[in-house]
Amino acid sequence: MTAAAEAPFDVTATTCTGFAAELRRHGVPVGPGQTTTLYAALHQIGPVRLRDLYWAGRITLVGGREQFAAYDAAFRAFFTAETDGDTVALPAPRTTAPQVDRDTSSSASTPSARPSEAREDEVDQARLTPSDVRVLKEKSFARMDAVERRRAAALVRRLGAELPRRRSRRRVPAPRGRHLDPRALLRSALRTDGEPVRLPRRHNPLQERPLTLVVDVSGSMAPYATALLWFAHAMLRAGHPVEVFTVGVEPTRITDELRRPSLDVALARVAAAVGDWDGGTRLGTSFATVLERYGGHRALRGAVVVICSDGLDRDEPEILGDAMRSLHRVAHGTVWLNPLKGDSRYRPVQRAMAAALPHIDVFLPGHNVAAVEQLCAALAASRRAA
């Protein structure tokens, strides 16, 4: 889960009493005892998210199924400032959840950014049944409409990936460790007439390996590329060491553009920075350029490199094969997400894909939310293996 998507509310007594008053204005009878129960329940939960608040309120404040519609209307009016008629919206706690694309078209040709209400997305997600979520996870990104893409983006933002770790080369002070700390030893001895009382230690701490995402933004990959950018944005917001590149006609580093707190703003900056979105495909040349520029950089050396592409390349397959061989030598691991693999009939027999396959550690589909979950599981497995 990302920190932005799971931002906690500061639940106060004023919040609970204000929401109860809003419910009464919508015709739901709520007494002081129910309000107190809601307040106590929320403080038993711990960090409270909007989804938790929705269900806790519905359990403690609603007396019957016939009140569900009025409860939903009051919840939206109070927490998203949406009002009908003369209903007055009360002030609500603010969240920092990233905004998502609300494009009304059925396909995502470019990473567009439009004004949105992230809190409304949380309410929307709370209404989904487990069967709805399962169907949504299995549906291809390319076949989703605008509402489904918004819900899928919220699911992807809540995924948590554990990256493999490695020992840092830099030693830091520690209560225990294999190495003495000579400087600290001398400083402490000065305070005891040159006699060391304790032996300060240093060790090499564990740190996460960088995660580098290389996203194909050619025309056939646009909906899947946008979905992986959701994941990249969530990982960056969670504080993981992430680098992101797009490849098509030429490579573009978009890490800084994705650091924006709002997903809408981040995607807008990506759209402005990437000049070959929905263009042609020269994977081999693009990969070779990335290796030439960043081959000795932490973005590739010792990193887990995740490539999202269908492998349909206009370059000669030998170019991509040589680039993947070099990448495999410098990276800790290589993962390839291919949306075509979501079809059981798919076989990686295209010349470019066949040339790259021997240098891939993990080969996964990349066409839906379930595939992104498989990616997270593969990253966690590589962490345990390390």
For each of the chain's 386 residues, which pLDDT tens digit applies?
A: 333 334 566 677 788 888 888 888 888 888 877 888 888 788 777 677 788 888 888 888 887 778 888 898 888 888 765 434 333 332 333 333 333 444 433 334 445 444 444 555 555 555 667 788 888 999 999 888 888 898 899 899 888 788 887 777 778 787 777 888 888 878 888 888 777 778 888 877 778 889 999 999 988 898 899 999 999 999 998 889 999 999 988 999 999 999 998 888 999 999 999 988 888 888 999 999 999 988 878 888 889 999 999 988 888 999 999 999 999 999 999 999 999 998 888 998 889 999 999 999 999 999 999 999 999 999 888 765 55
What pLDDT, on the 0 to 100 scale, is given for residue 318?
94
- Is 173 within 8 Å of 204 (Cβ atoms)? no
Q: How many helices (H) and strands (E) does the chain have?
A: 14, 11
Chain mean position to CA 34: 36
Residue of 255, 302, 238 lying closest to 2 (CA atoms):
238
Helix residue ranges per DSSP H, 91-247: 118-126, 130-138, 146-157, 182-190, 222-237
- The label of the residue with tokens 């905004």 reads 99
Taken in order 343, 337, 310, 144, is the CA torsion positive or negative? positive
- What is the pTM assigned to this prediction? 0.63
- Which DSSP string corresponds to 306-325? EEE-----SS-HHHHHHHHH
The one-letter amino acid at 119: R
d(CA 189, CA 193): 6
Nearest residue to 99 (alpha-carbon basis) of 122, 68, 125: 122
3-state secondary structure of 241: coil
Alpha-carbon span 121 to 311, nearest angstrom: 34
- Please count the CA atoms within 13 angstroms of the CA of 52 that sit on its side-chain side: 18
Q: What is the pLDDT of residue 201?
A: 83
Q: What is the pLDDT of residue 301?
A: 87
